[in-house]
A and B are shown apart, each in its own frame.
Chain A
Amino acid sequence: MRTRLLLAAGAVAAWLLPYGLDSYAIHVVDVILIFAILAIGLGLAMGIAGQVNLAQVAVFGVGAYVTAILTTRAGLGFWVAAVLAVLATVVIGLVIGVPALRVQSHYLGIVTLGLALAFTSWVTNAQASGGAEGISGIPVPELPGVDLSSEYLYYYLELIVFAILLAFGLFVVRTSLGRRMRAMRDDALAAGSLGAEVPVLRMAAFLLASVYGGLGGVLYAGLIRYVAPESFNIANMFLLLGMVIIGGRQSLVGCVVGAVGLALVREALVDHPQIAQIAYGSVVVLVVVFAPTGLAGLPVRVRSAVARRRGRQGAAARLKPFQPYDPEPSRRDGETILQVDRVTKQFRGLKALDDVSLTVAAGEIRGVVGPNGSGKTTLFNVISGLYKPTRGRVRFRDADRTGDAPYRLARAGLSRTFQNLRLFGDLTVEENILVARDRSRTWESWRYLLRPISVLRRDRELHRHARDVLDRYGLAEFAALAPKSLPYGIQRRVEIARAVAAGPALLLLDEPAAGLNGEEVRQLAEIVRSIRDSGITVIIIEHNMGLVMTLCERVTVLAGGRIIADGTPAEVARTPAVIEAYLGDSMTAGDLPPISEVTR
């Protein structure tokens, strides 16, 4: 209710704002709104999807230039030109996004920055764009009954576009598409393993950013009615970047706050050019140092600081017992679900897997054990598609899945956890589950435009499912918390719940007992058994021999990348090679200390 009141007050204030402004101030506000739209787009790509996109200003330029060229040279009407301009920016956005399929983080930043520079250089030299003099005389957009040459009325046009774009951005961020993007930002590997189509999502991020950039460009062309290369130079790109970082890139509202704030600071310093650069630079540095989450992150930081000072209030969230699944009566045990056929994986000189063959039957709990460095996690990575085997095939559910992308395998019914926990750190526990639970295809995101209600309905359903999962795993009280803030044992449980929420046929657990205490290990065994009873086949890598011996029906022993034994726990324990290679001492030691291996 309070937010709605605030919102209503904000809307009324925004509507009445021009009545208190002179012609200079309204122009400033008009420009700020355009930058705010650009900042939202950049925030979607950088903050939400984690794609460092330094070509946003070029996309902005494309929108403005295409509008300018089509209206002045081709004689099209403003609105027709605007639609074509946005379409052009969509194409450009996809082109800019292509490098993201291959490179990430700062490398992507450098590539996109290069594209932005290329754009400025091109418009400076091309005939069509009017060279350094740019294009003047862009016609005023016409709207029946509204004179848009008045910057006051133009403000309302911008305000409406801005409000729609902000609302749409928030809608995306808080539902399926945005959640997946945020998951991808936090951990692209884990997101892929849970069925998020990482390449499609990256392109979608660039697409969204470029639509915002394009609309910003169209509005710019209509407002300034003149385009020149300097308007879209790198300095403006960094200004835009500053807005997003100062505002808080993970929050769209923060991006808007940053855009407004920085633009006002810039405006206030126009009369003091001597100190402007220093002051403006200081603001950016201060924010980066003292408020890394930006202005949008400040309320949360202040609240948590206050809470810390007062001491913890209220009851801390408690872990509830796991509620076992109802056994699935119609299980089709015994059929082969996974077949690893003579797989070899070579890393330069090192043979991590050497001619490994393995068959897992549906309904089984299979243990994979072996000394550190024996190739267990490599085997998981090959099965789940993170690695392509050098030789050999992997068949899953009667289909050859060798070298399939992780997200394809995930969609085919494979789910996994990671040895060193890969939870999405900036998502809540519930959102972690939601990402896994969400089985929709990313290309179906056109629904966001055409059938938003169906998106909402599906999201509500997802939330209900996620609640069920959290209840079952006793995690309901942690739903709104960040995984990072939770004890290790609970994080382990969240990761298992997340993997099961994806609804797999085969579940790969990589050292799920590492770092757990005795009671937690006992609960883990109970959970894994129940998961199997619900009809999910489980393969488990574990160093805790007690757990493996009691839990698994069959055990495969790896040493030096080869399978040295395969059979029931009792058979395996008697195999001389196993005793020699691995079990000799550790059978008596019982619980080997978990030594983290490199997952990749």
Chain B
Amino acid sequence: MPRLRATAIIPLLLLAASAGCSAPGANDDDAKSGSGPIKIALVDAQSGQLSSLGAWELKGARLAVDEWNAAGGVNGRQIQLDVFDDQGDPTTGTTLARKIDSEGHIAMIGTAESAVTIAMAPILKQAEIPNITSGQSPGLVAAGSEFLFLNGPTSTTYDETLAKYIVDKQGLKSIAMITNNGSYGKGEHDAFLKALSSRNVVPVADQVVTTDQKDFSAVLTGIRQKNPQVIFVGAEEVESGLIVKQARDLGITVPFAGAAPQGTPVFLDTAGAKNAEKTIVSSPYLSNDVSDASKKFAAAYKAKYNEDAELHGAKAYDGTQILLTALKSSNVATGKALADAIRGTKYQGLLGDFAYDQTGVGIFATSIGTIQNGKLVAVTG
């Protein structure tokens, strides 16, 4: 009888409750042994919409780990990099945080998605697993975990540097904004607007488009009427490229400005090199040719994966290098000691000189570059 079945559950539960009184899961012993390979987890989206980001991260981190392993590992112990797929989903992220804890990973690289990292932060903090993330949202700092480190500047830094260059240095005050309503675009919108308002600049236009929009003629026509001196774009690579291309078709000649996506080859290809000319880019890693270190990294990357290195791989490479350096300097410490070692690590990386503060941010500047003759060139001075 179905009705009996339904009502029978509750008394049975009560019975079982009285039978087992002690709370389960009281013993939480950490199995972080002092021999065998050093287990490091890489958590990133390997499937779903953000998987390309995850793939770049993995390549950068893998390159660093392989270099260390080839040189004999850390204190003679090999480094084992285990890959976990968070699918860009915070819930899955929390599960993976428990998983890497229970499997005895002593540190974590990733994720590229700030929301996933924020979701994982409390669990990793409780488990005392240091985490070097590629996320750059200010919310990561707000999470307030002493085990959370960023492998690049926060997104506010990108836009602060950009606003400084455009407004303070170039003296451009008539600025139009076009951003999308996705998480990246929204973050860019807020950060750049904040940077502008701190300089008492009000954008002449503030247009928001959707993430999957393909035709921007309406918003661009509106912007053209305002006659701005520069147009800020806060969107991913392809969409930014489309916006620039369509703007040129409408006869808009003023330069565009934006953060890292506008410095990528994907952006250049979509927009067309001629259309993208003079685009102002704020990025901690302008190109593979900016320094000797980046040239060496790019060559190794190309040799290993047969493709050109880019920002995300470079960030993950830097983050992994910092972690491994800290492991070496701390004699393979774990938990709080390892976190302190990371905080104490001074590292000259591809993105610049890392020196972590209490908030977990190690780098506080980006570089400004402009696209000239189809190439991103650093602006000096």
Binding site for B on A (CB under 8 A): 3-4, 7-8, 11-12, 15-16, 18-19, 21-28, 31, 121, 124-125, 130-134, 136, 150-153, 159-160, 163-164, 167-168, 170-171, 174, 220, 224-226, 228-231, 233, 235-236, 266-267, 270-271, 273-274, 276-277, 456
Contacts and interface: CB of A to CB of B under 8 A. Distances in A.
B88 interface: yes
B4 interface: yes
A136 B143 contact: yes
A125 B102 contact: no
A562 B89 CA distance: 65
A587 B142 CA distance: 90
Q: Describe A's contact surface by its main secondary structure.
A: helix
Interface stretch (B92-100, B279-287, B351-359): B92-100
Given A4-B5, A174-B2, A224-B119, A230 B90 contact: yes
Interface stretch (B11-19, B166-174, B228-236, B333-341): B11-19
Given A16-B20, A19-B24, A270-B84, A228 B3 contact: no
A133 B137 contact: yes
13 contacts: A23-B98, A24-B98, A27-B98, A28-B95, A124-B183, A125-B181, A131-B183, A131-B187, A133-B138, A167-B9, A168-B6, A229-B115, A271-B84
Contacts of B163: none
Contact of B115 (A4, A21, A133): A133
Contacts of A23: 25, 28, 98, 101-102
A224 B90 contact: yes
Contacts of B28: 23
Contacts of B20: 15-16, 19
Contact of B182 (A124, A151, A270): A124
B71 interface: no
Contacts of B119: 134, 136, 224, 226, 228, 231
A16 B24 CA distance: 9
A101 B143 CA distance: 44
Q: Which 7 A-B pairs have the closest CB atoms?
A: A132-B183, A133-B139, A273-B46, A273-B85, A228-B115, A15-B16, A24-B102
Contacts of B116: 228, 230
B240 interface: no
Q: In terms of DSSP, what is the predominant structure of the interface of chain B? A: helix
A228 B140 CA distance: 13
Nearest to B55: A273
Contacts of A27: 94-95, 98
B95 A24 contact: yes
Interface in B178-229: 181-184, 186-187, 190, 208, 210
Interface centre among B90, B121, B208 (most CB of A within 10 A): B90
Nearest to B187: A132
How extensive is the interface on chain B, given as a class? Answer: 35 or more
B94 A224 contact: yes
A151 B25 CA distance: 9
Contacts of A163: 9-10, 13
Given A4-B8, A11-B16, A134-B115, A152 B23 contact: yes
Contacts of A270: 84-85, 92, 95-96, 99
A24 B47 CA distance: 22
Given A125-B181, A153-B23, A167-B9, A132 B137 contact: yes
Contacts of B82: 271
Contact of A136 (B8, B88, B139): B139
A168 B9 CA distance: 11
A208 B90 CA distance: 27
B283 to A, nearest CB: 20
Nearest to B48: A235
A224 to B, nearest CB: 5
Contacts of A131: 183, 186-187, 190
B16 A12 contact: yes
B294 interface: no
B272 interface: no
A134 B9 contact: no
A235 B82 CA distance: 25
Contacts of B183: 124, 131-132, 229-230
A487 B228 CA distance: 78
A274 B187 contact: no
B332 interface: no
Contacts of B190: 131
B133 interface: no
Contacts of A235: 48-49, 87-89
Contacts of A266: 92
Contact of A150 (B23, B48, B85, B92): B23
Contacts of A228: 90, 115-116, 118-119
Contact of B6 (A24, A159, A171, A225): A171
A8 B12 contact: yes
B115 A132 contact: yes
A12 B139 CA distance: 43
Contacts of A174: 2-3
B113 interface: yes
A274 B183 CA distance: 26
A114 to B, nearest CB: 13
Given A7-B8, A131-B186, A230 B88 contact: yes
B91 A31 contact: yes
A132 B137 CA distance: 9
A132 B183 CA distance: 5
B265 to A, nearest CB: 25
Contact of A236 (B13, B24, B89): B89
A171 B118 CA distance: 40
B122 interface: yes
Contact of A277 (B47, B49, B137): B47
Nearest to B121: A136
B146 to A, nearest CB: 16
Contacts of B91: 31, 220, 224, 231, 236
Contacts of A224: 90-91, 94, 119
Nearest to B9: A163
Contacts of A456: 3
Contacts of A18: 24-25
B123 to A, nearest CB: 8
Contacts of A170: 2, 5-6
B95 A124 contact: no
A167 B139 CA distance: 41
B25 A21 contact: yes
B118 A226 contact: yes
A271 B28 CA distance: 23
B45 to A, nearest CB: 9
A23 B30 CA distance: 11
A574 B124 CA distance: 94
A220 B90 CA distance: 11
Interface string B133-151: 0000111001100000000
B83 interface: yes
A3 B2 CA distance: 9
Nearest to A229: B183
Contacts of B101: 23-24
B195 to A, nearest CB: 17
Interface string B29-73: 000000000000000001111000000000000000000000000
Contacts of B94: 27, 31, 224, 226
B90 A225 contact: no
Q: Which of B6, B83, B137 has the most CB of A within 10 A?
A: B6
A271 B84 CA distance: 6
